[in-house]
Amino acid sequence: MGNIKFKSYSNHNYRKIPQMSLLSEEEKFTIDVVGSVLPFKVNNYVIDELIDWDNFSTDPIYILTFPQKGMLSEKHFAKVANLIKVGADKTEIKKVTDEIRLQLNPAPAGQSSNVPEVNGEKLPGVQHKYRETMLFFPQQGQTCHAYCTFCFRWPQFTQMDEMKFAMKEIELVIEYLKQHTKITDFLFTGGDPMVMKSKIFGAYVDALIDADIPHLKTIRIGTKSLAYWPYRYTHDKDAPELLATIKKAVDMGIHVSFMGHFNHYAELKTKAVKDAIKAIQSTGAIIRTQSPVMRNINADANVWATMWRKQVDLGLIPYYMFLARDTGAQDYFSVPIVEAWDVFREAYKKVSGIVRTVKGPSMSANPGKVQVLGVVKIHGKKYFNLQFVQGRNPDWVGRPFFAKYDEKAIWIDDLYPALGEEEFFFEEYLNRDNKVADEIISNIE
């Protein structure tokens, strides 16, 4: 077993990591440059137990956590590299890195336009996009045990305060929940809500339980902690308190689902993660899993088939495969839609029906979660067939629709209607004023 005392590293102190002696000065300089624009954080568990240091430069977990040169455009890289080389002061560097971040689409999928209100007050820590599910970003969960290089929530970690969705007041959240009787799922998200102290998390859950909301059926916890810090459930001082809170919710009849973020089967290999999974399962909670397909990390059907298979062996339920979001270092990580579908299908083909609970590949875009059903040939011509698995308008879900085939397309913005249609069926609605649109949604039966 590794060291169970949490120790984290960022671009300010990563040179103290013993394994850094394996890197050339140039490789370290790359970390300095990219790490000053996109968030970088890693910890002793990831370093000592997950990364294969004999092959670090191609190791998926290394690429998942350590900044890579290709994550910035050549122009942006050169700009920051020059500033660091000439010893520019911090404010000057920050001005440039902030400018670059703004060019990297920091709020994809219209995130900032989903801020709901209750009795005239804004709830900046809440997102309510799909009728049944409310997302809550507790203020104390706005970080992670380590950061993924492809993270789409990265502006929340880079002190760009105006883009944070955090909030404190659970009372308003509960009021909102009470007023929206169609919400069945309450999803704690972040950052990673499991970085919260058990006491704070417990207070939130207690407030939800005490409010006794009949339509609240499920509490979900979106977390990467099983992969990045499994000791959260077994060795952290307040681990027993956390498990007790979860068990309490389960015993009250609430379905508690961990939405575990796993990107590679390497994250499932340690005794620590297996013990953590057992600890969670002992409360009666279920663990579902999700991940994007990422070039340089997991864009390989064998990786997915192995990962899903191992998850099921451990009692986990594969849930979502995503495409790389249109933010941050998307150019470095994204694979074309057609390639992601290929990875999905090849992996899906390899596993038994029990493993095929997974949905994907799916794009979390402004109108909703769009699943790529596949490529269809009609009269010798190829088309994409897609469908919503979640929609701003629930009525869009489960209606297959077509788009022109484009082997280079990587995101829904690259797609165009096919077969004589002038626009996608949902576009007329999307083009209306957002507020009107949201009202329509909340009134749909």
CA-based torsion, 298, 302, 305, 310: positive or negative: negative
Residue 287 Cβ, how far from ligand SF4 at the closest point, in Å?
A: 15
Task: Lay out the site mask for ligand SF4 across 250-269 (x = CB under 6 A, - = otherwise).
Answer: -----------x--------
Query: Using CB under 6 A, which of 10, 112, 113, 133 touches ligand PLP?
Result: 133
Which of ligand SF4, ligand PLP, none is residue 153 near (CB under 5 to 8 Å by kind)?
ligand SF4
Residue 129 Cβ, how far from ligand PLP at the closest point, in Å?
A: 4
Count of helices and strands (H, E) across the chain: 15, 15
Query: Using CB under 6 A, which of 118, 123, 144, 195 touches ligand SF4?
Result: 144
Enumerate the H helices of 154-218 as residue ranges: 170-179, 198-211
Does residue 191 interact with ligand SF4 by CB under 6 A?
yes
Token couple for 312: 């099921």
Whether residue 391 has a cis bond before it, omega within 30° of 0: no
Query: Using CB under 6 A, which of 128, 129, 153, 220 touches ligand SF4?
Result: 153
Give dist(CA 234, CA 337) in Å, integer. 39
Does residue 325 interact with ligand PLP by CB under 6 A?
no
Amino acid at the residue 405? Y
Query: Using CB under 6 A, which of 11, 257, 289, 390 touches ligand PLP?
Result: 390
Give dist(CA 292, CA 341) in Å, integer. 12
DSSP state for residue 366 in the 8-state scheme: S
Q: What angle do CA 328, 333, 338 make, to 5 degrees?
A: 120
- Tell me the CA distances in angstroms from 27 to 30, 33, 278, 290, one per residue in order: 5, 10, 38, 31
CB 306 within 8 A of CB 343: no
Give dist(CA 418, CA 384) in Å, integer. 9
Comparison of 36 and 257: residue with beta carbon closer to ligand PLP: 257
Which of ligand PLP, ligand SF4, none is residue 364 near (CB under 5 to 8 Å by kind)?
ligand PLP
Query: Using CB under 6 A, which of 37, 51, 72, 148 touches ligand SF4?
Result: 148
Does residue 129 interact with ligand PLP by CB under 6 A?
yes
Query: Using CB under 6 A, which of 59, 192, 267, 326 touches ligand SF4?
Result: 192
Does residue 147 interact with ligand SF4 by CB under 6 A?
yes
Which of ligand SF4, ligand PLP, none is residue 144 near (CB under 5 to 8 Å by kind)?
ligand SF4
Residue 215 Cβ, how far from ligand PLP at the closest point, in Å?
A: 15
CB 123 within 8 A of CB 175: no
Q: DSSP string spanning 17-59?
A: SGGGGGS-HHHHHHHHHHHHHS--EEEHHIIIII--GGGGGG-
Give dist(CA 65, CA 76) in Å, integer. 20
Which of ligand SF4, ligand PLP, none is residue 174 near (CB under 5 to 8 Å by kind)?
none
If 0-12 CB within 10 Å is exposed, 13-18 middle and 19+ buried, where does residue 162 land?
exposed
Q: Which stretch binds ligand PLP (CB under 6 A): 130-138, 151-159, 292-300, 435-443?
A: 130-138
Does residue 151 interact with ligand SF4 by CB under 6 A?
yes
Which of ligand PLP, ligand SF4, none is residue 129 near (CB under 5 to 8 Å by kind)?
ligand PLP
Query: Using CB under 6 A, which of 9, 62, 66, 130 touches ligand PLP?
Result: 130
Relative to beta strand 126-130, strand 133-136 is antiparallel
Please list every residue from 154 through 173 that binds ligand PLP, using CB under 6 A. Answer: none
> What does the binding site for ligand SF4 look like in residue numbers (CB under 6 A)?
144, 147-148, 151, 153, 190-192, 224, 261
> What does the binding site for ligand PLP look like in residue numbers (CB under 6 A)?
127, 129-130, 133, 135, 364, 369, 389-390
